[in-house]
């Protein structure tokens, strides 16, 4: 819809009402949101194939437009070029138009419409990313991990040693020669019948052991620390805590294999590991076991007899991988036993169940299709953010939502690149493993990055859901959370400084008081998380009391009082007070244009458009009935021009049915026109009835209005349907009258030109002058009448509309 400017008429001032016409992108604007209008208005298209009012929501309007028998005249070359440029611009705006690329600051309706369009597109993207994220996981992942944990971590040896109960080097070898070997090699059924799998092992009869397991250790150099002078005679060796610069790289023991020779991280293609005590490198001494239980037992006995583990050992790793074809899952297992400088052993394990082979089943190929759609969405949003960045420059980064958009896009790009890398790497690794099944299958690197990939997708999905708040902020109810947090941010920041001063003071106090005896206070980081757990009610008071019978209760009581009862409640009070202020302000504000208002107004606008179109068809039918026998174009045009139609529309309609081009409609041509007009009229009537029924249904389903809502709505006055139709019709008639006046002025100018050319012939000139005088008098009289009628109609329309819009 476009806004009409005033004619060059000194009697009329102010802006004229917005006409009922549609823009190419399908939007419409009411008077309250009219922007700068074009300098000259064009004639309102009536019955000759007008554009639908609601391009995106009323599919039936497209069908009705295709029924229209009256095409417009073909545009000129210049008009085609301008139209092409506009269509390109509107295509970009329609596809990537956002609240940041369009001027919506003074147009609430356009803001709501653009936001809703963005929300619909984003919801499709959100569904797609949810399918991708959840399509890569399965409930079988947990049960696979649990089965491997029960077998290799919780199974005890004959002496009762479990992996988690390892406390000495002797316990380590007891576990390795007992539960480890029994769990790795399954060659018989429960009735001692052979499984006939050759030298391959299927753990739990379902999970194939890939390659062979590997044991690896990292040692520290002797005399890597300094012994005190008083103990130099008694203590001959000193092995420091682990440090990668103090690693032992000398051969030892039998010096005849990889178990006794040092290998760098690059040589064995290892990877670092973050243990409980520190981070270990991927180098060291390693021993690959065999594909059978007997051969592996022999190798383990050789390591035990030759003291493979000694005082310099700081960590030992056991790595192996399995594959379950039933669920297409890999399980990469790493068992770690750390030997600290204090003596003893600390065990930990890492079991990663991942899906490295992606596309097998029909569901996997469906996920592949979702991945392609995801890539298209990312490309779409990259272009969108570039357009917004070009428009707003550095101010683009002032919005937290824009920064969140960039984060989501960057994480998505990293995910796409890793997905391609993982597919290529797995194919290469599996190909090598199938050629040499007796080698160690190193899936640790891929499993690690697959886990990080899954974590990144989880974070990205979280941010994607949070971003939904960006698109629902057009409703004042939805802005309460952001308004509350934004307003109390400074107060919370100032309070947080006081809170964490007290909090960290208690954390240091707890670490120094209980760190030597209570595990949850053994490090400063653990103290911080333990104090958060105390706030939530999860604590072990007995352990604190045993560690320090005097200061323990004092610490606990004062911490709970100051942090929980005082500081935490002050924090909640700040938020509650700000929320009350925000809610009160929002309730006092008048309601802005909402989505329901747009739907209701769209029904009214569409209904009005269809009704006007139906009336114009009736005008054409009257023109056909007014003629007798054959109808000439001149009579047809004069009849419709009196009813307010434009010249080019009338010519286009007549030429369509004038098959022989003789400027006359015979009976057959009139009959065809009548049939198509009747079909068009019936279709419009059906659509009007349908819209009317839907509108009445909405009114019936609308809940009763409360007294508070009536008070809020008292400041807004809406026009009923009949009055709106009447005013709209007056606007259309006004423009039609003005167009008629313009046509008559053009005709007079043509006649004046003929008059000057005929001055040479006196007799003919007199006759011409006489005829021109009579015509000019008649024309001038008719023009004065029409101008007076048009101005009167324009004034009455302006007064009516100003009266109508004044309450709004």
Annotated binding-site positions: 658, 660, 669
Q: How far apart are CA 72 and CA 95, in angstroms?
A: 27
The encoded tokens of residue 582 equal: 């925000």
Task: Count Cβ neighbours within 10 Å for each residue of 262-286 and write b for 16 or more, e otherwise.
Answer: bbeeeebebeebebebeebbbbbbb
Q: Residue 537, class by beta-carbon neighbours within 10 Å (0-12 exposed, 13-18 middle, 19+ buried)?
A: exposed
State whether residue 389 is helix, strand or coil. helix
Binding region for Ca(2+): 658, 660, 669
Q: What is residue 3's DSSP assignment?
A: B
Q: How far apart are CA 151 and CA 137, in angstroms?
A: 23
Q: How far apart are CA 559 and CA 553, in angstroms?
A: 10
Asked if residue 220 lies in contact with residue 248, where contact means CB atoms within 8 angstroms, the answer is yes
Element (H, E) at 317: strand 313-324
Q: Residue 460, class by beta-carbon neighbours within 10 Å (0-12 exposed, 13-18 middle, 19+ buried)?
A: buried
Beta-bridge mates of residue 610? none
Measured in residues, the chain has a length of: 808
What contacts 24+ positions apart, CB below 8 Å, involve 40-45? 40/5, 41/2, 41/4, 41/5, 41/16, 41/735, 43/646, 43/649, 43/735, 43/736, 43/739, 44/19, 44/20, 44/732, 44/735, 44/736, 45/21, 45/72, 45/649
Other beta carbons within 10 angstroms of residue 237's beta carbon come to: 12
Q: What angle do CA 732, 738, 739 make, to 5 degrees?
A: 90
Asked if residue 25 lies in contact with residue 53, where contact means CB atoms within 8 angstroms, the answer is no
Q: How far apart are CA 385 and CA 409, in angstroms?
A: 10
What contacts 24+ positions apart, CB below 8 Å, involve 334-337? 334/273, 334/444, 335/152, 335/153, 335/163, 335/180, 336/273, 336/275, 337/166, 337/172
Q: How far apart are CA 346 and CA 280, in angstroms?
A: 14
- Neighbouring residues of 779: CB distance < 8 A, sequence distance ≥ 6: 744, 747, 748
Q: How far apart are CA 726 and CA 516, in angstroms?
A: 88
* Helices first, then strands: H and E counts in the chain: 24, 10
State whether residue 208 is helix, strand or coil. strand
Task: Write the secondary structure of 228-243 as one string of H (helix), E (strand) and C (coil).
Answer: CHHHCCCCCCCCCCCC
Q: What angle do CA 555, 556, 558 make, to 5 degrees?
A: 70
Q: What is the dihedral of CA 521, 526, 532, 538, to 10 degrees?
A: -60
Q: How far apart are CA 184 and CA 131, in angstroms?
A: 36
The encoded tokens of residue 68 equal: 């229209």
Closest CA to 289 of 266, 317, 269: 317
Asked if residue 285 lies in contact with residue 261, where contact means CB atoms within 8 angstroms, the answer is yes
Beta-bridge mates of residue 280? 273
User: Rounded to an integer, what is the distance from CA 148 to the centroid of its chain?
Assistant: 38
- Neighbouring residues of 595: CB distance < 8 A, sequence distance ≥ 6: 112, 116, 474, 475
The encoded tokens of residue 125 equal: 């993207």
């Amino acid at each position: 819809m476009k806004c009409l400017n005033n004619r060059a008429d000194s009697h009329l001032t102010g802006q004229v009402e917005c006409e009922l016409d549609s823009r190419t992108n399908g939007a419409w604007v009411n008077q309250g949101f009219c922007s700068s209008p074009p300098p000259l208005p064009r004639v309102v298209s009536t019955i000759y194939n007008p554009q639908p009012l609601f391009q995106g929501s009323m599919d039936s309007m497209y069908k009705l437009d295709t029924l229209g028998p009256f095409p417009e005249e073909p545009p000129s070359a210049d008009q085609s070029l301008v139209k092409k440029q506009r269509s390109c611009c509107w295509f970009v705006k329609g596809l990537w138009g956002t609240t940041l690329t369009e001027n919506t600051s003074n147009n609430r309706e356009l803001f709501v419409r653009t936001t809703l369009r963005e929300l619909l597109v984003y919801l499709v993207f959100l569904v797609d990313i949810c399918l991708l994220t959840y399509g890569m996981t399965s409930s079988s992942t947990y049960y696979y991990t649990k089965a491997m944990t029960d077998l290799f971590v919780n199974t005890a040896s004959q002496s009762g040693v479990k992996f988690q109960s390892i406390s000495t080097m002797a316990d380590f070898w007891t576990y390795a020669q007992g539960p480890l070997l029994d769990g790795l090699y399954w060659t018989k059924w429960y009735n001692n019948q052979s499984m006939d799998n050759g030298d391959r092992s299927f753990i739990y009869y379902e999970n194939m052991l890939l390659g062979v397991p590997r044991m690896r250790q990292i040692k520290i150099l002797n005399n890597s620390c300094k012994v005190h002078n008083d103990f130099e005679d008694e203590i001959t060796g000193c092995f420091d805590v682990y440090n990668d610069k103090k690693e032992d790289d000398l051969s030892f023991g039998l010096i005849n294999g990889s178990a006794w020779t040092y290998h760098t991280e690059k040589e064995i293609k290892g990877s670092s590991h973050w243990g409980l005590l520190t981070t270990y490198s991927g180098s060291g001494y390693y021993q690959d076991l065999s594909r059978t239980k007997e051969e592996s037992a022999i190798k383990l006995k050789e390591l035990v007899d030759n003291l493979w583990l000694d005082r310099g050992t700081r960590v030992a790793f056991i790595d192996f991988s399995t594959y379950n074809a039933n669920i297409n899952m890999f399980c990469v297992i790493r068992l770690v036993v750390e030997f600290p400088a204090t003596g003893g052993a600390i065990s930990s394990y890492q079991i990663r169940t991942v899906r490295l082979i992606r596309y097998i089943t029909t569901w996997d190929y469906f996920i592949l299709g979702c991945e392609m759609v995801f890539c298209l969405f990312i490309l779409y949003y990259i272009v969108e953010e570039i357009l917004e960045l070009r428009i707003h420059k550095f101010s683009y980064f002032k919005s937290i939502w824009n920064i969140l958009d960039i984060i989501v896009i960057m994480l998505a790009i990293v995910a796409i690149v890793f997905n391609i890398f993982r597919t290529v790497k797995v194919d290469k690794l599996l190909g090598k493993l199938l050629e040499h099944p007796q080698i160690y299958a190193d899936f640790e690197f891929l499993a690690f990055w697959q886990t990080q990939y899954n974590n990144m997708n989880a974070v990205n999905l979280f941010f994607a859901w949070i971003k939904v708040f960006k698109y629902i902020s057009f409703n004042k109810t939805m802005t309460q959370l952001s308004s509350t947090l934004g307003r109390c941010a400074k107060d919370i920041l100032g309070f947080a400084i006081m809170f964490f001063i007290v909090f960290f003071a208690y954390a240091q106090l707890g670490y120094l008081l209980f760190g030597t005896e209570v595990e949850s206070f053994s490090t400063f980081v653990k103290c911080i998380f333990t104090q958060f757990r105390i706030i939530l009610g999860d604590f072990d008071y007995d352990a604190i009391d045993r560690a320090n019978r005097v200061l323990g209760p004092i610490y606990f009581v004062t911490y709970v009082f100051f942090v929980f009862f005082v500081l935490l409640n002050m924090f909640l009070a700040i938020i509650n007070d700000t929320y009350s202020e925000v809610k009160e302000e929002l309730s006092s504000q008048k309601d802005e244009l909402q989505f329901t208002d747009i739907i209701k107004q769209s029904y009214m606008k569409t209904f009005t458009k269809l009704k006007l179109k139906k009336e114009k068809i009736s005008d054409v039918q009257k023109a056909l009935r007014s003629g007798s026998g054959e109808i000439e174009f001149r009579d047809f045009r004069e009849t419709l021009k009196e009813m307010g139609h434009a010249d080019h529309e009338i010519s286009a309609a007549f030429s369509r049915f004038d098959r022989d081009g003789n400027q006359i409609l015979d009976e057959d041509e009139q009959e065809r026109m009548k049939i198509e007009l009747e079909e068009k009229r019936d279709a419009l009537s059906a659509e009007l009835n349908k819209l009317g029924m839907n509108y009445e249904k909405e009114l019936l389903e609308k809940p009763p209005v409360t007294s508070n809502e009536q008070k809020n709505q008292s400041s807004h006055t809406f026009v009923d349907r009949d009055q709106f139709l009447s005013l709209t019709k007056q606007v259309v008639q006004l423009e039609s009258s003005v167009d008629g006046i313009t046509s008559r002025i053009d005709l007079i100018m043509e006649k004046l030109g003929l008059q000057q050319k005929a001055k040479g012939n006196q007799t003919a000139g007199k006759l011409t002058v006489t005829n021109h005088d009579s015509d000019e008098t008649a024309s001038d009289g008719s023009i004065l009448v029409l101008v007076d009628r048009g101005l009167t109609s324009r004034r009455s329309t302006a007064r009516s509309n100003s009266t109508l819009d004044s309450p709004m």
